[in-house]
Amino acid sequence: DTEVTQTPKHLVMGMTNKKSLKCEQHMGHRAMYWYKQKAKKPPELMFVYSYEKLSINESVPSRFSPECPNSSLLNLHLHALQPEDSALYLCASSQGFLAGYEQYFGPGTRLTVT
């Protein structure tokens, strides 16, 4: 099973709402990632967890709060977002955090902030 699942598929939220995105993998991978992808642009790395610890935060605004409850799950908590945060949010996982490990991407959550 090489699948990364993400829920929900679509999310519409107001600027004062609090919501969460969920990502799950059962491949035994120890590194998990959040990316943001705007339309017709490449994915941009937001956060990396390695062995359930936050390894990289690419200077992401605090209105995005990641959480890794266990080695299979990754959450992204959203609060007080702006319309410019509307994008496709992709989760990925890899066996480890060494360069060269294939990153497996989920289908993404399409987020619209109104």
| Stretch in the footprint of other proteins (CB under 8 A) among 12-20, 41-49, 59-67, 72-80 | 41-49
Nearer residue to other proteins within complex by CB, 66 or 106: 106
Phi-psi bin for 61: left (phi > 0), alpha (psi -120 to 50), beta? beta
DSSP-derived secondary structure letter, 37: E
Nearer residue to other proteins within complex by CB, 18 or 41: 41
- Per-residue binding letters, 1-40, with other proteins (x by CB under 8 A): ---x--------------------------x--------x
Q: Are 109 and 23 in contact (CB under 8 A)?
A: no
| Rounded Cα gap, residues 27 and 3, in angstroms | 8
